[in-house]
Copies of this chain bind each other. A is one copy, B any other.
Amino acid sequence: MASLADIGVSALINILSAFAFLLAFALLRLQPINDRVYFPKCYISGGRSSPRRSANFVAKFVNLNFKTYLTFLNWMPQAMKMSEAEIINHAGLDSAVFLRIYILGLKIFVPMTVVALLILIPVNVSSGTLFFLRKDLVVDDIDKLSISNVRPQSIRFFAHIALEYMFTIWTCYMLYKEYDYVATMRLHFLASQRRRVEQFTVVVRNVPRVPGHSISDTVDHFFQTNHPNHYLGHQAVYNANKFAKLVRRRDRLQNWLDYYQLKFERQPEKRPTVKQGFMGLGGERVDAIEYYKHQIKEFDKRMTLERQKIIKDSKSILPVAFVSFNSRWGAAVCAQTQQSKNPTLWLTNWAPEPRDVYWRNLAIPFVSLSIRKLVISLTVFALVFFYMIPIAFVQSLANLEGLERVAPFLRPVIELKFIKSFLQGFLPGLALKIFLYILPTVLLIMSKIEGHIALSTLERRAAAKYYYFMLVNVFLGSIVTGTAFQQLHAFLHQPPTQIPRNIGVSIPMKATFFITYIMVDGWAGIAGEILRLKPLVIFHLKNMFLVKTERDRERAMNPGSVDFKETLPSLQLYFLLGIVYAVVTPILLPFILVFFAFAYLVYRHQIINVYNQQYESVAAFWPHVHSRIIASLLISQLLLLGLLSTKKAANSTPLLVILPVLTLSFHKYCKSRFEPAFRKYPLEEAMEKDLLERTTEPDLNLKAYLADAYLHPIFQSFEVEEELVEIRVDKHQAHVASPSISEPSSPTPHHYTYQTSSPPHYTNDLASPPGCYRPPSPPHYVYHYQVEP
- A340 to B684, Cβ gap below 8 A? yes
Chain B residues with Cβ under 8 A from A344's Cβ? Answer: 672-673
Instruction: Report the minimum CB–CB distance from A343 to chain B (whole Å).
Output: 4
Contact of A11 with B by CB under 8 A = no
Residue A730 lies at the interface, judged by CB distance under 8 Å to chain B: no
With a cutoff of 8 Å between Cβ atoms, the chain B residues found around residue A494 in the complex are 495
Whether B225 and A687, one on each chain, are in contact in the complex, defined by CB atoms closer than 8 angstroms, is yes
Nearest-CB residue, chain B, relative to A367? B669
Q: How far is the CB of A623 from chain B (nearest CB, A)?
A: 12
Shortest Cβ distance from residue A559 to the other chain B in the assembled complex, whole angstroms: 35
User: CB distance A341 to B685 under 8 Å?
Assistant: yes
User: Is A684 a contact of B341 with CB atoms below 8 Å?
Assistant: yes
Looking at A293-301, A631-639, A674-682, the stretch in contact with chain B turns out to be: A674-682
Residues of B within 8 A of A261 (CB): none
CB distance from A443 to the nearest CB of B (A): 22
How near does chain B come to A55, taking the closest CB pair, in angstroms? 54
Per-residue CB contact flags for chain A residues 354-389 toward chain B (1 = under 8 Å, else 0) read 000000000000110011001000100000000000
| Interface segment out of the listed A25-33, A330-338, A455-463, A766-774 | A330-338
A338 proximity list for chain B (CB < 8 A): 336, 676, 680-683
Asked if A3 CB lies within 8 Å of chain B CBs, one says no
Instruction: Tell me the interface secondary structure of chain A in the complex.
Output: helix
Q: Judging by beta carbons under 8 Å apart, are B370 and A672 in contact?
A: yes
**Which residue of B has the minimal Cβ distance to A329?**
B226
Nearest CB in chain B to that of A225: its residue: B687
Q: Which residues of B contact A154 (CB under 8 A)?
A: none
Let me know if B229 and A682 touch, CB within 8 A.
Answer: no
Q: Is A496 interfacial (CB 8 A cutoff)?
A: yes
The CA of A680 and the CA of B493, in the complex, are separated in Å by: 43
Complex CA distance for A661 and B491, rounded to whole angstroms:
20
Q: Is A740 an interface residue (CB 8 A)?
A: no
Question: Are A370 and B674 within 8 A (Cβ)?
Answer: no
Question: How far apart are the CA atoms of A611 and B680 in the complex, in Å?
Answer: 43
Q: In this assembly, does A249 line the interface, its C-beta being within 8 Å of a C-beta of chain B?
A: no
Q: Which residues of chain B come closer than 8 Å to A337, judged between CB atoms?
A: 332-333, 336-337, 680, 682-683
The interface size bin for chain A is: 35 or more
Beta-carbon nearest neighbor of A335 in chain B = B337
A187 and B341 in contact, given A370-B672, A495-B494, A665-B370 (Cβ under 8 angstroms): yes
Q: Determine whether A746 belongs to the interface, using a CB cutoff of 8 Å to chain B.
A: no
Q: Does A487 contact B (CB under 8 A)?
A: no
The answer for the CA separation of A226 and B684 in the assembled complex, in Å, is 6
A333 contacts across to B, CB distance below 8 A: 333, 337
Decide: B673 and A226 in contact? CB cutoff 8 A: no
Q: Is A668 an interface residue (CB 8 A)?
A: yes
A367, A498, A672, A683: which has the most chain B beta carbons within 10 Å?
Answer: A683
User: A492 an interface residue at 8 Å Cβ cutoff?
Assistant: yes
Does A56 interact with chain B (Cβ within 8 Å)? no
Chain B residues, CB < 8 A from A495: 492-495
Q: Is the CB of A674 within 8 A of B496?
A: no
Interface residues of A in 216-244 (CB under 8 A from B): 222, 225-227, 229
Q: Write out the residue numbers on chain B whose beta carbons fall within 8 Å of the beta carbon of A367.
A: 669
Q: Which B-chain residue is minimally distant from A338 (CB atoms)?
A: B680
- CA of A673 to CA of B369 in the docked complex: distance in angstroms? 13
How far does the alpha carbon of A665 sit from the alpha carbon of B374 in the complex, in Å? 7
Q: Which of A680-718 contact B (CB under 8 A)?
A: 680-685, 687
User: Interface readout for A652-679 with B: 1 if CB under 8 Å, 0 if not?
Assistant: 0000000001000100110011111100
In the assembly, what is the distance between CA of A665 and CA of B370, in Å?
A: 8
The contact of A340 among B339, B498, B665, B682, by CB within 8 Å, is B682
Which residue of chain B lies nearest to A222 when distances are taken between CB atoms in the complex? B684
The answer to whether A341 and B677 have CB atoms under 8 Å apart is yes
Q: Are B674 and A343 in contact (CB under 8 A)?
A: yes
Is A65's beta carbon under 8 Å from chain B? no
* Alpha-carbon gap, A579 to B388, bound state (A): 39
A689 → chain B closest CB, angstroms: 12
Of all chain B residues, the one with the shortest Cβ separation from A675 is B343
Contact residues of A between 482 and 522, Cβ < 8 Å to B: 491-498
Q: Which residue of B lies closest to A228 (CB)?
A: B687
In the complex the two chains form, is A676's CB within 8 Å of B371's CB?
no
CB within 8 Å for A339 and B493 given contacts A229-B229, A672-B370: no
How many Å from the CB of A186 to the closest CB on chain B?
10
Q: How distant is A370 from chain B, measured CB to nearest CB, in Å?
A: 6
Most chain B beta carbons < 10 A, residue from A227, A340, A371, A495? A495
Is B496 within 8 A of A339, CB to CB?
no
A684: which B residues are within 8 A, CB to CB? Answer: 222, 225-226, 339-341, 346
Q: How far is the CB of A635 from chain B (nearest CB, A)?
A: 18
Decide if A683 touches B332 in the complex (CB within 8 Å).
no
**Which residue of A187, A371, A675, A676 has the most chain B CB atoms within 10 A of its CB atom?**
A676
Tell me whether B343 and A672 are in contact (CB under 8 A): yes
In the assembled complex, which residues on chain B have CB atoms less than 8 Å from the CB atom of A496? 491-492, 496
Distance A677 CA – B343 CA, assembled complex (angstroms): 7
Q: CB-CB < 8 A to A378: which residues of B?
A: 661
> Do residues A343 and B676 form an inter-chain contact, with CB atoms below 8 A?
yes
Interchain CB contact under 8 A, B371 and A665 = yes
12 new A-B contacts at CB < 8 Å, known A226-B683, A229-B229: A226-B684, A332-B337, A336-B336, A338-B683, A343-B675, A343-B680, A344-B673, A346-B684, A366-B672, A370-B665, A374-B661, A374-B668
Q: List 26 A-B contacts (CB under 8 A).
A: A187-B341, A222-B684, A225-B684, A225-B687, A226-B684, A226-B687, A336-B337, A336-B338, A337-B682, A337-B683, A338-B680, A338-B682, A339-B683, A340-B684, A341-B685, A343-B672, A343-B673, A343-B674, A343-B677, A343-B680, A370-B669, A374-B661, A378-B661, A492-B495, A494-B495, A495-B495
Q: Kindly list the 3 A-B residue pairs having the minimum CB-CB distance in the complex, ordered from nearest.
A: A343-B676, A338-B680, A493-B495
